[in-house]
Structures are given as structure tokens and as C-alpha cells.
Amino acid sequence: MNKGQIFDFFSRLAEANPAPVTELEYGNAYQLLVAVTLSAQATDVGVNKATRALFREVETPQQMVDLGEDALKQHIKTIGLFNTKAKNVIALSEILVRDFGGEVPQDRDALTTLPGVGRKTANVVLNTAFGQETFAVDTHIFRVGNRTGLAPGKTVLAVEDKLERRVPQPFRRDAHHWLILHGRYVCKARKPECWRCIVSDLCRFKPKTPAPGSVAKAA
């Protein structure tokens, strides 16, 4: 895509969804950090089911430490890798209390020193909780970036770098959410729903997936 097409691409997504938000449920930056940490190799729906009762009981790192690892496991045992995730959440909570005054740092380097927090998780927290213009590349964004030609790259970091350089204002803050939602509900992994995609004419993916019951046009 050229610059004009990229601007058009995000203009259409923004018009269709002017105020995109994460589908993870949370009440503050700390709860968001926990939810994103738990969401690795899990669905947002599954994480939300597990954290609703947890977040009624736990709002701060100190409260999580007081809850303890065994009790946390009982809350999140329906989530994949819950044993490792519980250990990481307790450990990062202890560090937040000890080194950051119980606050979530607004810095990627600081965030990625926390157990279980990688670059993607840090980028989600910085963008969603603090409004920073970061691009958290998950499987959906990696797929959309490559399939559409918006930000092709062989690695997550390559796609992130392309997005960093190519996404224009005023779309940078919300680009991460638009791309995730587009990948989750329209540009699906196995069978993209091109027939109802509002940016299909800008996308380099061929042949376009036809609507159910119709015949695909020749590429």
C-alpha cells in the first residue's frame, strides 16, 4: 500500500468504529496489566470470565500479593498455562509494590522487566491504559499486516517497525485496536470474509473470498 491507500484504509476503519476499545475487561492500569498477561495463548472471552470475580476482590498489586498464588490459581484455572501465569502475576505484583510504589510504570523498558511481560503486553498496556502510540503485534495484527500489504514482515518486530513508520496521524493511537478487531472478526485466519470487508479494494490479498453461496471471481 502507498501512503494514500494507508490513509484511506484507516479512515474507513475509523469511520466504522470511531472509538475502538480492547475487549478485555478491567478497571485500572494494574488490572489491565494482569488481564493482558493472562491473555497469552487464551481468548479475551476466556480471560474475562476468569477475572470478573478476581477483579472484584483485587484492584491493586498489594491486594494480589495478599490474595496469594494458590487462591489466584483457583480464579484463573480455566485459562491455559494458569500455573505459570499465576506465578508470574504474583511475582510482578511483588515487584510493583517493592520498586514502583504499587503503580504500573508508563515505560516499555520498565514493564518488560516484569515477569511474564513481553514487548507485546507492554505495548498493549502503554496504548490502552496510557494512550501512548504503540503497536502491539499479536497474531491478528501480524496476519492483517502481511495479508493486506499494510505492514509486511517476516517477524513480529518487522511488522511493528513497519506500522511505526507507516501509520499516519490521526490514526496512530487507535490503529492497534482497529487492526486487532479487523483480524478477529473480518480478516480471519482460515477464511477472511472479504465480501463484507470495507477495505477489500485496498488489500493485496487474492483471490478474494466470495460470499457464501457465490462463485469467486478470477484474480
Task: Please identify every residue annotated as catalytic.
Answer: 120, 138
Q: Is the Cβ–Cβ distance between 177 and 18 less than 8 Å? A: no
Residue 20 is labelled as binding a ligand = no
Task: Name the helix (H) or strand (E) containing 9.
Answer: helix 3-16
CA angle 179, 153, 123 (to 5 degrees): 50
Q: Of 103, 20, 17, whose CA–CA distance to 60 is shortest?
A: 103
Residue 143 is labelled as binding a ligand = no
Q: Cell numbers at residue 132, please? A: 501512548
In 78-189, which residue ranges form alpha helices assigned H by DSSP? 82-99, 108-111, 119-130, 139-148, 156-166, 175-185
Residue 21 is labelled as binding a ligand = no
Residue 203 is labelled as binding a ligand = yes
**Cα 51 from Cα 72, distance rounded (Å):** 10
Strand, coil or helix: what is 59? Answer: coil
Q: Give binding residues for [4Fe-4S] cluster as ranges.
A: 187, 194, 197, 203
Q: Give binding residues as ranges.
A: 187, 194, 197, 203
